[in-house]
Amino acid sequence: MELLTARLKLREFVEEDWGATWPYESNPDVVRYQSHGVRTPEESRKYIQDSMATARESPRRIHDLAVVLKEEGTLIGRCGLKVTDAEQREGALWFILDPSRWGKGYIPEAAEAMLDFGFGTLGLHRVWGDCDPRNTASIRVQEKLGMRREAHFRENVFLKGEWCDSLIHAILDREWAARPRR
């Protein structure tokens, strides 16, 4: 599977990719709002292996792709979409990016391609994202994508030694189709 944008290629992971993902996955600032903590090299390698295994499942429900700069061929992050409820045609979106690439619009570009895939190829009806309300960058990405805030759950998850809130943003297939294209 491969998705192309103006600047990016979203592709399946290969085992060697752990060497590119581990530097940002081991950065406390990057994983501050992720559900996982700082990863060791072994944990990054295991994540990539697990992602590769989900790509072979049938039916495939998890599409976790490496975000690569087309010109350089450099892996800079990942963007994923999980079919959370096939019957209801619902999916969940996620993303993470190397901090040296923050603020350049790469994640909205990657996530837009992933949503096109989700609504087009997968035929999803609704896609949602979950983020910590303190993660203003993730909120901005979801808003740029046309996702609207649906819920604010108070202290609904205990992560990294503290109770955390969750913001849920979502978009419907018809809203995605009607939005102005970038």
Q: What is the CATH number of the domain that holds 101?
A: 3.40.630.30
The pLDDT of 149-172, averaged and rounded, is 95
Q: 59: cis peptide before it, omega within 30°?
A: yes
The pLDDT of 125-133, averaged and rounded, is 97
Q: What is the pLDDT of residue 182?
A: 66
Model confidence at 145, pLDDT cuts 50, 70, 90, reads very high
Kindly report the average pLDDT of the chain as a whole number: 95
pLDDT exceeds cutoff 80 at 23:
yes
Domain total in the chain: 1
The pLDDT of 64-82, averaged and rounded, is 97
pLDDT exceeds cutoff 80 at 92:
yes
pLDDT exceeds cutoff 70 at 75:
yes
The pLDDT of 117-138, averaged and rounded, is 97
pLDDT exceeds cutoff 70 at 35:
yes
Q: Which residues contact 6 (CB under 8 A, 6 or more apart)?
A: 109
Model confidence at 90, pLDDT cuts 50, 70, 90, reads very high
Domain extent at residue 119: 2-178
Model confidence at 106, pLDDT cuts 50, 70, 90, reads very high
